[in-house]
Structure 1
Amino acid sequence: MAANLPPLSAIRAFEAASRHLSFTKAGDELGMTQAAVSYQIKLFEEKLGFAVFERKTRKIELTPKGALLAEGVVDAFGRLRQVFQDVTAAEATELVISSNTTFAVNWLASRMLSFQMQNPDIAVRLVSYGPWEKPAFDQADVTISACYPPPKGNLFIPIVAAEFTPMVSPQLAETIGGIKTPSDLLKLPIVDPDDPWWRIWFSAAGLPDADLAKWPTSRMGSQALEANRAIAGQGVAILTPYFCRQALRDGQLVQPFDLICEAEDEFWALSYQPLNKNSRKVRLFRDWVVSELKRDGLECPDAKPVGP
């Protein structure tokens, strides 16, 4: 039973002293003085009721009972050290990233090889969560979130603003002779008409009473899915231009208007728990994300804790 064990500090002192057969060397290993080790061994022997060391001039030797104890204690500490080493090594080299679908598909998937080439010793495990799932803030080293703010106390960096504007496939636009005014959009199917971004954009475009009710209610909940529908010609989607740059360059989508709106207090954020702020793998990933965004012309502030 645990209650019958000597104090852990005394067991540690005994384990080290039994390996070195020296109180001085045991103290050097444990960061203690020779006198402190001697005191811990005294407590150890008093708890057991028998001597574990025979003190001789300039040296110590294990008693028969001490040798029997040492065999089991040294082995147990060896296995304990190995377990900690194995777990620590795995923790140091596996980076778990929780990301929403949009960022995972439209950003991370096409760039992750770059991070892995720069950091070959870090194994990346990407856990993307669906449109209606909450991010696993407490189960990942780093979380990329949009609709869900990081928990209080987490460190976070706003990385991409929630900007939006309508986009459509050029083929669908041509079915009505092209899109020349915002009202032309209403002649085409609207992807996710219940998305509040539509109301914001149409109001900014001078159509606060735009009739979206005639289109079937749907809610993809992910720009990655909405963009795919738009590319397939199923309707006009309201999307963040930053995440659609490739589709725009390739001509899969067109952005009919320069008007881009931004949702107040909404943004994609990279966040992590305070205990990870000094983690090498987290620091390397955070700095890599920021450097990639800067290459795209985006500026990111320093990480700061989430307030109340």
Structure 2
Amino acid sequence: MSSLRAFEAAARHASFARAAEELGLSAAAISAQIRKLETEMGVTLFHRGHRAVSLTEQGEAYAHRVIDAFAMLDPTDTLATSVEPRVTIELDAEFCRQWLLPRLTPEVLNDMGVHLNLRTHTGTPRSLPSETDIALLWGAMDFQGYKRSTFLRPKVFAVASPTLNASSLTEAAHHRLLHERDDTWWRALFDAASIPYPNRARHLTFHRCDLPIEAAAQGLGAAVGDDISAERYLAERRLIRLPGPILESRDYHMLVKRGHATGPMPRLVAWLKSEARAFETQVQKLLPG
């Protein structure tokens, strides 16, 4: 218990020195207790720098459990019996901001009755942190211990501000072509429309998928977007879809940790699936023709 208490205090403070002050020990004693715990567990819980320490991935996962456990055992905490269960969702940072956050309301969170822990990443994750209960990932990836299902099927198309004076792909080529990283999707759209690609077109390139959409809404050019990133702009009429092909991108998939048939997980999973179905219905209204 002394090692666990030392770890719990150090994890909360992200400091051996501040944990030592709280527990009335020396920083060396805190370090020794945590070393003992690491030896017993066979894992490294902290990265140790010259002037600072930080939790490793395994340390962070273990800290959530230990901190919650100590909070529930605290006899002075009258709220301990009503601590909400923690559910961790792993997802891309831009997807979290564009799709999930607009759908979360205080009422939704209260109905769920969970302490929602949103872990975000950029790029494609090679593994899932051990505390992950649900993952919403772009692309079909399988991880041991999780059941995967299709979540959303993004649609890709060209958009522009209503003020840009572009009503077709051909007219869009007279303005800047806005896109992420390279012009692969623009070439695919022109090819699908059987229109020669404008190799002399001007470009503005970003390295985040949401920024071309924002730039298009500001009238900087025409963009290739998808229904997830463009949903709000289309609904507010800050963007319109240019006539032309609608292509399909890789699907988003939901991965749910096995063994959660009871508790808050089924309710949260059902809500996510319901929101995904409602989103696809709404997209059909926003993308006529």
Normalising by the smaller structure, the TM-score range is 0.5 to 0.7
User: What's 1:26 paired with?
Assistant: none
User: What's 1:115 paired with?
Assistant: 108
Paired residues, number = 205
CA deviation map 1:140-190 (0-9, x unaligned): 22111115734356312212113100111122x23xxx32x3211111111
Return 5+ residue gaps in structure 2 as ranges: 1-68, 74-80, 282-289
Instruction: Give the structure with higher Rg (CA).
Output: 1
Please state how far the C-alpha of 1:213 moved relative to its aligned partner: 6.8
Query: What is the 5 A alignment of 1:270-289?
Result: 270-275=254-259, 277-278=260-261, 280-289=263-272
User: What's 1:269 paired with?
Assistant: 253
CA deviation map 1:85-135 (0-9, x unaligned): 76xx8997112212213321222111111430312x3111222223x3637
Task: Determine if contact 1:231/1:252 at 8 Å carries over to the other structure.
Answer: yes
Task: Determine if contact 2:213/2:229 at 8 Å carries over to the other structure.
Answer: no
Task: Determine if contact 1:220/1:226 at 8 Å carries over to the other structure.
Answer: no
Cα distance change of structure 1 residues 117 and 244 upon mapping to structure 2, 3 Å threshold: farther
Task: Determine if contact 1:99/1:135 at 8 Å carries over to the other structure.
Answer: no
Cα distance change of structure 1 residues 202 and 112 upon mapping to structure 2, 3 Å threshold: same
- 1:296 aligned counterpart, secondary structure: helix
Return 5+ residue gaps in structure 1 as ranges: 1-81, 299-308
- Correspondence for 1:200 among 188, 201, 216: 188
- Correspondence for 1:154 among 137, 146, 159: 146
Q: Which amino acid aligns with 1:137?
A: L
Please state how far the C-alpha of 1:235 moved relative to its aligned partner: 2.5
Query: What is the 5 A alignment of 1:221-240?
Result: 221-222=208-209, 224-240=210-226
Q: Which amino acid aligns with 1:198?
A: W
CA distance in 2 between partners of 1:198 and 1:208 (Å) = 11
Q: Which amino acid aligns with 2:251?
A: F
CA distance in 2 between partners of 1:129 and 1:204 (Å) = 32
Q: What TM-score comes out, normalization by structure 2 length?
A: 0.60
Q: Which amino acid aligns with 1:256?
A: L
CA distance in 2 between partners of 1:210 and 1:93 (Å) = 55
Task: Determine if contact 2:177/2:202 at 8 Å carries over to the other structure.
Answer: no
- Correspondence for 2:278 among 295, 302, 306: 295
CA RMSD of aligned residues (A): 3.2
Amino-acid identity (%): 16
Q: Which amino acid aligns with 1:267?
A: D
Q: What TM-score comes out, normalization by structure 1 length?
A: 0.57
Cα distance change of structure 1 residues 199 and 152 upon mapping to structure 2, 3 Å threshold: farther
CA deviation map 1:264-299 (0-9, x unaligned): xx1111213334x4353332221101112233355x
CA distance in 1 between partners of 2:83 and 2:133 (Å) = 10
